[in-house]
Structure 1
Amino acid sequence: MFAPSLRPSSRLAVPPREARHSHARGADQGGRASGPRGCTLRVWTRQPSERTLRGASGRRGRPCGRSQRFRRNFAELGTPPRLRWSAAMPRSPEAEDALAVYAERGGDASNTGQADAVAWLADHAPSLLGLVRSDPSIIPDVLARPIEHGSDRETLGASLARALSGRDGDSAEVRRALRRFRHRAIVRIALREIRRVADVEQTSAEMAWLAAVVIDAALDHATRTETARHGRALTRDGAGAEVVVPLTVLGMGKLGGLELNLGSDVDLCFFYETDDAEVEGGELTVNELYARVAKRCTEMIGEVTEDGFCFRVDLRLRPEGTRGPLVNSLASAERYYESWGRTWERAALLRARAIAGDRRFGAQLLETLRPFIFRRAVDPSLAEAMHEMLLRSRRELRVDEERDVKLGKGGIREAEFFVQTLQLVWGGRHTELQVAGTLEALWRLRGAGLVSDREAETLADGWALLRRVEHRVHVWTGYQTHRVPDEPRFAESLGYADLESLEAALGRVREGIAGLFSTLLPGETPTDRDWDALGDLVADGAEVETIAEALAQRLPVRDPYESAAHLARLGRRAAGPLGPVTWQRLPQLGRRLLEEVAHVGDPDTALRLLADFFNRLGGPWAYERLLLEEPRLTRRLIGLFGASPTLSSALIGHPEDVDLLLVSGAPRVEELVAPHDALLAELGPDPDPEEIVRELRRLKRTGTLRTGLAYVAGELDLEGATERLSALAEGQVRVSLEAARRWAERRWGRAARGGLLVCAMGKLGGRELGFGGDLDLVFLFGEEGETEPTESGRSVTHGELFARMAQRTMQLLRQRDAEGPGYETDTRLRPSGSKGTLVVSLAGFDAYHEKGAADWERQALVRARPLAGDPEVARAAQDRFDALAYLRGPTPGEELARVRGRLQTELGSESPERYHPKLGYGGLVDVELCVQWLQMRHGDDARVRSPSTPDAIRRLRDAGAIADVDADALSEAQTFFRKVELALKLFDEHRDPLLEPRGRTGAHVARSLGVRARDGLSPTEALDETYRRHARAARRLFEREVGEVQAPAPWEASGES
């Protein structure tokens, strides 16, 4: 089992240059003033399930035949007395009997989809059957939207608004509608998880958004009801205008972290802006009015009625707990936290999120409290305080440490507290760590160098399994408990052969989490003996075979001999990190390097690149102290070597950039653009091309490296990374074009009318450029004519001038320099392609398209946009792009489907073991062509026009041109395939981006995307399954909207499904 290697001093006591932040629930159980929360309330129904829902025997799990009632019900329906099982449908006596009851209550048990859903609930979430028993219409309502598609806040909010339509004035009707909505949503969310359509993160986020929209609706109704009776609370804004005092609801704990369980209560805090206000009528104070609103709101969602309840509400995390007022003003909250705030309250606020009411004010409130949550001063004693909170919870709740997956040793709470402690310790210095979600914070801690790759994976995998088991416990028992049932069928419902197998899996992950948590506490120090023995061999110049044998016992390398050879390189020079002089003088440097290599996902690659890095240094001693004094730098350096050979090579070529590893946070777009603007301002009348190229390559290298580091660390999402890479490329194009213009005009004169325009196409046009991406460019100019004569009397045609300018621009973009490589450019999307002239006038562009350019050339203009050059030409060009792309209808579907098939079969290079995420079956091209085709089809509606694929999907959805479920499928597929593409480029930018799911690239991509083992699948197998699912969805939508593609999936060749 992996043993954590970081000393407490490395985590907590040595302040790096930058820090991290955390979100801890603090005293979720034992730290609240009012004492521990009970754990015996039913989660789903007010009444026990009927005997028939447990099985004919009355005991769960005991075999039983089909009941007479089952046969009678189906006979009355005129249906043969047998179940219509789908291929994936579980077969069990419990499922059969549940279906009998479903039919008896009026459900359509002859419908395969409905029968399937009921059977899955019976075998995996039996407590939810009580809801279905009370209201069988839940099942068809849940299945009205494909179960494969999830829901975000917007989707759930829109659905709830429809459910509440016409019920605004009747509190009883609103309560009933809220409960009916909640019941349907929770059954759907549970079905998605137990059917393995959604993972734990998706389930938890959907549950949190469900709670948020329900609470928001309840708050809105409560506010309108109370203000109608007592008047509004009014104050004046900065301009003196009368405004309503904002009221917000903060979701705390798992709700704020978007990690709500299927059986969780909701932790809420109510805040309003100011007491300097009056309530209309003068009957109440602001606090009294909003206390009534908060009380009514919590009753609306928490009170048990004949329809059940929405969520249990816990208000004990508010200032002063149960002794404090129900609602607090901003000023009183500030005073309380500044004067009396305790560690557990910092931890609680760490995960707070404004979920209802005036969310803008809520965000301002959290910003005001941020200095209380995240301190600049590093306080390692926080770890002891967090540990004490956990121990108190265990004592007060009398936890069964062996079976409690939440509070037991190595349980969910230890995993969360590990992350939250590091966030609280370092978050004041590292603002990128100030996030509420456990896994997001974990990846950022890894990116900041505070945890290693292996530690992050150990905790993430363990946390996911524990949360999945916790969810299943809730829907299995119907109680808010975290104790694993001692029932074999429970283990089987999770995919384990028996209870012993489940307990063994839980034991392994809990051991790893407990080990990590213990590293935060004093006195936990790892042994250096193993690393010393290995370091001695290297420093003494032992044979590679000897080093390989020792290495294989200590590191999980694929090729011990090759890795040993790289390790030997680190000791070849006396001054190397494992050389005899350094090893004798500073052995701790070598130990730290080896420890960090042990914790990355790909130690073979990390060792190779580490050796390359130190061999590149003339005198490595300059870096020794820096690496020893900055543990975070060492961790980020080795982590980068194990994660991205592409970015690592850039750093190795310029080791002076190592300081970029210590820069906190992702670069802002303005930071990448501003140096190019400054360079433009400094250009002379005839710029020196070598100086320009040198500076452009430096800016490209450092900008790409900073963006890549932030993306790998999880500080940037996909759209954030591609937006920055695109902005960086645009800056390079603008500088290159301007330098080329000055160079050309000095030699051949200025154009008499109009100038040259560079248009971005493809991914650059959509601001979706990836790492190592080519620049698709088209050059247009205004009018034909002659240039104004130069001083020597020389002039040329506009076409000649702009052709030379375009060639010079591309030369400046492409030219490699000691500072790094440039951009490859591709101009084949211009009129007539590679056979046409490099630059084309607007008149020539018009003539080409009037003569009958291919439809695919019109479709390419969907992603065209002016990038740099003459603004008048840019406006005229955009008008032409819009008219050609959007006002002439789409490409004939059969033609586009034929082209798509050829791209797959001729360029995809796919096989059963190798997929092409861009050109292959159901890949990125399916998504992009389908979206563009839909844009062209609905192009008369300006709302759908956008060169960006993600933005276009959102616009098509908003315009009603595509259903929500289809938009979700396209968006998810596009995001997935782009992430795969970027991961492959970060692995090897020179290699054709082919994914081998079961090979080395598959392992790298799985690590990069955070794909974990699940449901008996290894990470690479889970990646393969996810890839196929998105590919099928994308191809299905393409063929439905555009036309059938005559090209099969690569896995069909091997007979796989």
Structure 2
Amino acid sequence: MDKILAASQHSRYLARLLAADADFATQLAERLATPWHAAAMQAMIDAATITDVASLQHVLRKLRQAVMAQMIVRDLAGLADVHEVMRMCTDLAEVTVRHALKFHTELLAQVHGKPMNADGTPMQLAVIGMGKLGGAELNVSSDIDLIYLYADEGETTGDKPLSYHQFFVLLAKKIGLAISEITADGFVFRVDTRLRPWGDAGPLAMSYGAFEDYLLVHGREWERYAWIKGRALSGSHLSELNAIVRPFVYRKYLDFNAFSAMRDLHAQIRREVVRHDRVDNIKLGPGGIREIEFITQVFQLIRGGQLSKLQNKSTRAVLPMLAVIGSLPPAAASELLEAYYFLRNLEHRLQYIDDAQTQKLPKLPEDQARIAASMDFVDYVQFLVELNKHRANVTRHFDQVFSVPQDDGATHPLSALWLGALSEVAAVERLENLGYDDAAGVYQRLQLTRRGTRYVQLPDKAKHRLDVLVPEIIALAATLPPRDATLSRMLDLLETVARRSAYLALLIEYPAPLRQLAKLCAASPWAAQYLSNNPMLLDELIDARVLYALPDLSVLRQSLHEQMLELDGDTERQMDAMRHFRQRVTLHLLAQDIAGVLPLEQLSDYLSDLAALILEEVIPLAWAGVQNRHYPYPKFAIIGYGKLGGREMGYASDLDVVFLYEDDAPDAAVHYARLAQRINTWLSSTTAAGMLYETDLRLRPDGASGLLVSNIEAFSDYQQHHAWTWEHQALTRARFVAGDKRVGELFEPIRCKILRQQRDREKLRDDISVMRQKMHDGHPNRSELFDIKHDAGGIVDVEFIVQYLILAYSATHCDLTGNIGNLALLKKAAELDLINTAQAESVRMAYRQFRQLQHVLRLQGVDAARVEYAQIAPHAEAVKALWMHIFAAK
């Protein structure tokens, strides 16, 4: 009773309820310890006698009084937190709306019959909760935003039939009156239906088909924002409705157009705030609840189409996610969440006073004292200090997210040059002063771009954005040699992505990605082309901390697995998502590589581990598509050969793989052949997102003419009795990379057994020499340059030397069978006195230098890695000397 009395000193509404009914306080005290839940609310309704509209209204309003009174007392007494209050308010709205729907549906059906679905089941009106009701974050004296939709058109079959449209419009009106009409008992919630299509001018209820047409033709940006929180409280065929709403709200590609749309909407609200003197409004005013919601929802609009976890309707749930995915700094997300809870608690206390839908700070001193006390402050002045701290934090973060970019191209010093307002002589002189080498050629390129069909045919909005970006790019490229090439690459990229103006919006909204993009384009034409082919990766350039963080394989594995689970049942989207995943991780590695913070050997490890991680995820996905599969997980392994096996993968390396299984089931061979085919399809099919990996399956037993998959026993027999020497050479770099670990464990002893066979070394030298000559013949070099990979003294020679040492000496030196890489194996061979230590070290240095050169040249877009012989002569000669020492020996 003390808690009830104390709460009534804060809430005149509660005091009125207590004064109106002598037993109310006793009833309230009896159930004060147990908060209301939806089940208890429904039980109270079910226990009452409801015979007509009046009794329905009476029961629903009495329920509200009981819930509101308990909520006020528990909250002010410290028995409830903000989460409980929002949950109770939401439960009350859902229970009362659903019961009003049920009651009036049955009442109307007695006269007009029921609307029916095509499958013969009764059609239920879809009541959509919007705003805080949709987000399950309703405040205590809020109105509820409702939209009414129904699945299909038709006619009821009662004595007085109505069209479905007439029936559901009538039903919607009756639900509204049941909830919002003011009676002697008050009301339940004020109902606002103005978020429906065409607002007050639109029909109160609409079919899914008409609603879809409306969104496609008339749907506006603010409606996308509103429908983020749209949640069906009831309805038939809701999956069909979700299929309509989801693509309208969440775009397939990153949607940075949302910034300007949300900025415009906020500007309108700010104008209304000033016009109506609402600066003290903690919802709509500066630093208020609405700004926190805007920050949250703009990132949901931008990224929600790709990250389904951002499609959550709760502001408090999404804010921490934004820190996890890197859209907000963790400190910013924490401050915004803290401010959100403070403001929501304050909002509730403002509304407790008179049960009024207000978010304005009080003017009366006694009400100011009530607020200060209920918020646990000594006085109103101290309360305002804390409030202003939170509002200042919100405003600061809002301004950082929605800061207005330079969107007037005419203000940039180089705009006149780009737009052709300077004479050619003046423009060339300006470009020379900026440091461009071929200023005349650069000027011609700019003019060709501006007069080209790609630019001329752009929509005005995209053209304007290019006019903003190009002058900035001219200035940026001038600081990053090779200046001319950097500008050309960036212009190529812009022309490629210009028709998707959202990417242009990203580069305008965020200066950081533009600078990162310029650095990548300056460093590598291959990187520039990679981004042109995958423009959605521009988003990854926003946060340098994330971009340059070393990959955590366990986190990446979990992230990919969660994505695949979210898209379960939609193979096409899973394949696209997996390709985007690989592209994102690759870009991060590429940026770190170009910045010089990731050594080549470590980069190759990461790229090899990434491929293995993806293969591990592909196996169960492909297996799920094998009909009549006889195990939940296949007894199947993927063996990596070549660069994958040797952990030396590059950005564009293909996958040399062999598929093995160990399974005695009668249909095993058929099932695993289908699995292997499906895995190959998953990897090598070209989708809208590109190709995952090219695959090479020719290293399997009997090559291209052999079975796609082999059981362990057959593989072992083939390797022992039928394989060629070159196949044993390939086996030196083979390893288990994905699948059933037990099968992988069976493979390794077979591999070691084959490598450790006693061999005729002279015959082995002859076989390897013959194979080496075939490779020479297959890669003729008619230039005067040295081919780093294929020419004598190059990479292939080093690999063949190592393979010879393994096959020739593993019978007596088992350590040589370890898959530890060519550099470590050369060192091991020297330690075993199989080759001279000095020679081994020289060849190790050569191999490392060759791989580095090859890598650098490929980043420069060179297909065949060739250099002047003088540049690498000492290294090539060292390799040749060791080759002659081994293969010329008799």
Query: Between Structure 1 and Structure 2, whose CA radius of gyration is higher?
Result: 2
Interval containing the TM-score (normalised by the shorter chain): 0.3 to 0.5
Decide which structure has greater helix share: 2
TM-score for both structures, normalised by structure 1 = 0.41
Which fold has the larger relative contact order, with Cα–Cα distance below 8 Å and residues 6 or more apart in sequence?
1
What is the TM-score of this pair, normalised by structure 2? 0.48
